[in-house]
Structure 1
Amino acid sequence: MMKTRSCSETGSTSHYTFGAKFGVFLSFRGPDTRTNFTDSLYHALLDKGIHVFIDKKGIDIGEEIGLEILQAINDSKICIPIFSKSYASSSWCLHELKHMMERRKTNELEVLPIFYDVTHADVKLETNVYRYQLTQHKLKHETETVRLWRKALKEAAKIKGWDTKDIGENKRAATYMWDDCGLFPNEGIDVLLLMSLVKVGVKNKLWMHDQLKDLGKGIVRNENCKDSGKRSRVWNHEEALDMMIRKKGTETIEAICANFDGVLLTPEEFTKVPNIRFLAMINGNLSGNFKDLFPELRWLSWKNCPLYLQATNFCPKNLLILDL
């Protein structure tokens, strides 16, 4: 039997199947993360075949926490509180958190907090972010209740969890590109980090899991198994170099990566790829009049760029990222 009820100040909707066991229970403040990070995380977990309890509709003001919500926490293997700016303003969220932490003490479930747009210090009540919200609760709730919520927050803050602010400044280049494509880069990267599909390495370099790389390459190869010039992306240096020298590029191509050591490229090669958005060059030089070329180019990476550029009128008007 499936029962759907509105619950939680998070402002989300919940589908609860009695007797079911959940892989993950998501606790979040709806106005903060419902339509962005939490929704992306929810669907990412579903795609992995994980049974997730999420609440999407919201409860009426004053409604008490239902036994089915507490039971859902009990029936979950992992509980993920998503700490956001106004998480502690919700008595519902705090009640969920308190119950999670009590269950964690008996080793009956694992709690993996996500620090979405707050720090560990905020959740530890070392700043005014959550301290003020708890002060407001004292006006409506018993002192002992607020004390237990405070204790739960401090205990949760001791868990390492995931800090979405640790993505690194180097993600900016990628977010500019994805944002320009009409995607949602911040939420997407946060979810990929949580799933360990990307990581931030030395000097804030964004690292991608080999599985994700292989998946992307496989999708592109399937665009045209025989002719790389008819794919959207050409990352194999030999294939890219051969394609450009032979002027075999097409309008389909949006990204090229190649080592052009000793090669002098002219406008003629690039007129074949008018829709290129990403160009990663190593060595090489440009010669000729490049006026009105590269109308779609957003990202130019050129390692070992020559001191003297032989090209004239080289001015990609829509460029977002220049990496020399």
Structure 2
Amino acid sequence: MYTARGKNDTTSIGKGYEVFLSFRGIDTRTNFTDHLYQALFKIGIHTFRDNEELHIGDKIDPAVRSAIHQSKIAIPIFSKNYASSKWCLNELMEIVKCWKQKQISVMPVFYHVVPADVRHQIGSYEKNFQNYEKKLDWETVKGWKVALKEVANMKGWDLEKVANRHEGKLIQLIVKEIWSELRKNPLSISDNLVGILFHVEKVMKLLNIGSNDIQTRIVGINGLGGIGKTTIARSVYNTIYHHFEGCSFIADARETFQTKGPVYLQSQLIINILNLENPNITSVDQGINMIKQRLYNKKVLIVLDDVDKNTDLNVVIGKCDWFGVGSRIIITTRDRHVLDIHGIDEPYEPREMDLDHSLQLFSKHAFKMDRPPKRYLALSTDVVNTTGGLPLALEVIGSSLYGLGDKKLGKGVLDNFDQKELVMKDMVEKLKKFPNGEVQKSLKISYDELEIEQQQMFLDIACFFIGMDKNILCYIWHGCDFFPNFGIEVLVQKSLIKIDDNNELRMHDQLRDLGREIIRQENLEEPGERSRLWLQQEILDVVNTQKGTKKVEGLCIDFNGYRAGHRRNYYGDDLCLMSEGFAAMTKLRLLKVDHARIAGNLVQSFSELRWLSWKGCPTQFTPTNSRKLVVLDLTDSAITESWMGWNYIKFAKTLKVLNLRRCYKLSRTPDFSANLQLE
């Protein structure tokens, strides 16, 4: 909310003005200037109204000079006797000085004077300057002449031509223009930006600003939560907003649409662009009609930040012909499908930060420096590596470390370095086990929007399947009735996973940690009560103490390379999984026990198993219950053509993938005629 004060309340100097009025009191103090000031005051525009008659001497005092420098817009009101005041002319020179330094905009008003008279000091201005030239030094007079000429050449308002001598009408036009100009101020952005120019240039290229392109363009910025989409959009907005007649940046469009509805979103768009206090929109259809009717001839910039599939963009930006030629619309979203619907084929997808930029951003928040102090460089690198180059994580974690373990001395020098190091070491260890809650909260928004089957697929990937072939996973999930082709497409569109050139699924480290934390939260104390197990020590504990339950759907362990450094576990036996520990896990559908030694018959109760990976399995293993098995991986196993397991694999009617790579003792192909779906 703006505040306003009148001149000469010099106690308000320093609070920041928006408009500075320069005028000749004997001409306009009690009429035009007063009415204009009151009109600006009424809508909350903080205006400085100077009255040169109250000052002693010709030089403007520091308070008035400060008011000029603080203001965003200066309005010199040229009247018949304006040039008779040396005070007014000195004010004008200071205004021009600020204008040349791009500190202020200038909008002159010609009040019952002809602009040419002001520009060339003729007419009512001629006599005043004849006197000045006789009494004052030429440099001073020349400075006033130049200032008058420069301002008179600027776009302004002529009472005679613009309003046909109707002062009330002219004041309405001025207030509307001032309001519009002030509403187009840059958006606030953090001072700790790193590498932002690269992203701005990429988006600017898509927007095609500055060309003769008169089409309305819609550009998308797509990526996972916390990657910096909003910051990029704000930076682009600040770079180009002055090219447009009206601008609107609607933050948190998803949440606004869900909590306040489409009519509120339409109203915000109209208010921002047309500067209406209340457009009185009562229905969606009315809002659509108003947007189409009032904005079709305006060149506008619209940013809709954080849009999701539930945000009906058709009621807000509809078609391109709703807006004037040259308009630009930017949409940021986590969901690529939102952009596909609106025909945005090539959105900009910001990537994770590299190590150097990550360290710089982290350091700006953790140390208020561009680089970490040498003493903390190694620890800072460890912290940064846990973030996966995600800007949100770098900012949140860096800010949480700022000041911790520091003892401020007189000049702000760090004292207790050992304590600082201990704090950072603990932070590194904590982040390896438990991801930052604020970062996870932001990322979890996309997860919560998924359907149940898609959530299950996301969790499977996070816990087990990063780096696995997409086609193999589709077989597994199809056997689980998860509709994998559709599900994978949704996960990709929401930037939750990527598919690399080798057709393997990839996931950002922070998303992986999100999935694993969701599983950990299922039961903080008892891993055997969780749906998925992947940590080796937890698996050993759960299986060998028979703490597993029917809640366990997936278990993944690989003893290859693990056994050499841990020849015996704390049970006093070689690393060995007891088959009895699996007995209660009747809902297991995903099982990986690569290179494991298991005592007993492993699969006696696994009627729901779809994926079994047992690389390097012993010859005594037989998959006795394989009715729903879809993928079986026996790589590096010692099985032969006489292996008893072939008799049981015949009953795996749904088996589609069988991996026998590097089974060197297998001299001929077994009979697979019963496995009709094997591909």
| TM-score, normalization by structure 2 | 0.25
Bigger helix fraction: 2
Bigger strand fraction: 1
| TM-score, normalization by structure 1 | 0.50
Larger Rg: 2
